[in-house]
Amino acid sequence: MIEKLTAAFQLLRPLNFFITFISVIVAAFICQPDKIASMEIFLAALAASLTLASGNIINDIFDIDIDKVNRPERPLPSGKVKLSQAYALYKSTIFLSILISVFLNKMALFIVLFSILLLFTYSKYLKKFPLIGNITVAFLTGLVFIFGGVVVRSPSAAIIPAMFALIINLIREIVKDMEDVEGDKKVGVKTFPIRYGFQKSKLLILIFASALIIFTFYPFISQLYKIEYFVLVMVIVNPIIIYCVKILSEDQSSKNLNKISNLLKLDMILGLVAIYIGV
């Protein structure tokens, strides 16, 4: 029983759940610092986390054949969680996220409903097309920050962290596609690395990484964020991005790609810390 519950919990992607939860709170703080401790923000963070958790579950359901090749240890391909149980968990997370969003404002409820629909569409259709699926996931990650701003009725200040999250996750999505090439080939998914190869994928990552590094200068130069932000970004966040690009050019093994993917996830968290401190 404990093993099954643990496996079901893994379907929710606990780390992603936590990152989403914190991201909404950070966005709310950036937009309206005086409302950070409100129950409304807590509910918004929970709704967003449940919404993205539902997306992870439905994605695992549709990806079960791919994961039998790429990640056989995951709950569904390993048989630790049945498909019927995964669908039940998916429906539960959707129900809870919508129920919670009803207590927020109308725009927040609309974003949750829109995100649920887009996540399902991505998992079933969009991820099969080069870059379109990657952009969809990156867009939804950035939308988390806009959502935090919408809840406190001041979304404009969330645009910068949203753009940072969008670009770094777009890079990470391409890296993950490179990592998953073998499984994707077997089920006929035409990701960017499969259609255009690793060399063009690395070039695209280099372009996005360069754009992201240049973008990180803007909040400080425009005096939107304080010197603390700039120091953390220059000393920690950007060097990690550069390091990821460097080791990607040297080694495209599955093990190294997984390492890069994890580093980029960590770097997103560090970027949020930099923004939080620098506001």
CA angle 231, 235, 239 (to 5 degrees): 140
Q: What is the pLDDT of residues 171-196, one digit of tens each?
A: 999 999 999 888 888 777 889 999 99
Residue of higher predicted confidence among 243 and 64:
243
pTM of the predicted model over 0.85: yes
Average model confidence (pLDDT) across the chain:
92
Q: What is the C-alpha separation between 73 and 19, in angstroms, rounded?
A: 23
Counted residue by residue, the chain has a size of 279
Which pLDDT belongs to residue 34? Answer: 67
Percent of the chain exceeding pLDDT 90 equals: 74
pLDDT score of 185: 83
DSSP string, the chain: -HHHHHHHHHHT-HHHHHHHHHHHHHHHHHH-GGGTTSHHHHHHHHHHHHHHHHHHHHHHHHTHHHHHHH-TTSTTTTTSS-HHHHHHHHHHHHHHHHHHHTTS-HHHHHHHHHHHHHHHHHHHTGGGSTTHHHHHHHHHHHHHHHHHHHHTT-GGGGHHHHHHHHHHHHHHHHHHHHHTHHHHHHTT---HHHHHHHHHHHHHHHHHHHHHHHHHHHHHHTTSS-HHHHHHIIIIIHHHHHHHHHHHHH---HHHHHHHHHHHHHHHHHHHHHHHHH-
What are the pLDDT digits (tens) for 91-141? Answer: 999 999 999 999 999 999 999 999 999 999 999 999 888 899 999 999 999
- pLDDT tens for 78-104 read 989 999 999 999 999 999 999 999 999
Question: For the residues 141-164, what does the mean pLDDT come to?
Answer: 93
Contact call for residues 38 and 153 (beta carbons, < 8 A): no
CATH of domain 2-278: 1.10.357.140
Whether the per-residue pLDDT at 46 is higher than 70: the answer is yes
Q: How far apart are CA 155 and CA 146, in angstroms?
A: 6
Report domain extents, the chain: 2-278
